[in-house]
Structure 1
């Protein structure tokens, strides 16, 4: 989901619906993960919080939740890209009882007024007890 131009987007209003698609406000949902007040309890929740971080332009959170073995030096955002909807297609593992899991998703966006979708099956693992993004399958 990262491309060019590491420009931070405006903050998401805490009372707005959470970009991740769950029925809660941003403040009640992904913001607490972004602020470091809680850790995502499942691989799917981490995927959702990372999508919200892309929507918010929160590069520090994305880097913090990326496995050290595959973490890039930085995250850049595509200028003019707006993330519009997350669709979870399926999951394997990734619960509180697992050490790894996958999340297949479709991330919908607009880029310079044109709609697009990024489809990916992502692999997540626990690192020091916390869920982190490892790689695309």
Structure 2
């Protein structure tokens, strides 16, 4: 499920900047990501707002395995928030470990992944990721959507 946001809305990637100051220029190809973390955040945002062409163009062709825009557009995921856990960049290679929280059939889960990136001709590209499992947040932990509220008073209510 994609959401409609205006350029002045907060960017879904969690940067606390507006969409027009953050991921929109990347999605419009008027600029390129300057780091693996910026690319990963913009790719998460692309899932949220339905910029599926951007996801294909920033996915290294050797690692797409036939993935298409049509396949990406099939999903009906309700994205809740992004947590960047670690980032690492050494020369032309980078890694970002993150949790991308979503709601599916009143069940909260996350894509918990260590993603790999490579810099090719001045553009960072996603290559592949290692999937891991995670637990749902505890009731009194901060909410995964970055609302500033406790999980039990925010996204946990979506599961009822």
Query: 1:117 is matched with which residue?
Result: 110
Query: 2:136 is matched with which residue?
Result: none
Gaps of 5+ in 1: 1-7
| TM-score of the two chains, using structure 2 as the length reference | 0.73
Quick check: which has more Rg, 1 or 2? 2
Q: Work out whether residues 81 and 112 of structure 1, in 8 Å CA contact, stay in contact via their aligned partners in 2.
A: no
Deviation string, structure 1 residues 50-84 (Cα, Å, up to 9, x no partner): 00000011110000000010123304245431111
Gaps of 5+ in 2: 131-160
User: Secondary structure at the residue paired with 1:27?
Assistant: helix
Q: Work out whether residues 59 and 125 of structure 2, in 8 Å CA contact, stay in contact via their aligned partners in 1.
A: yes
Query: 1:68 is matched with which residue?
Result: 61
Is the counterpart of residue 89 in structure 1 residue 73 in structure 2?
A: no
Instruction: Provide the aligned length of Structure 1 versus Structure 2.
Output: 127
| Root-mean-square deviation (Å) | 1.7
> Relative to total residues, which structure has the larger helix share, 1 or 2?
2
| TM-score of the two chains, using structure 1 as the length reference | 0.85
Cα distance change of structure 1 residues 116 and 125 upon mapping to structure 2, 3 Å threshold: same
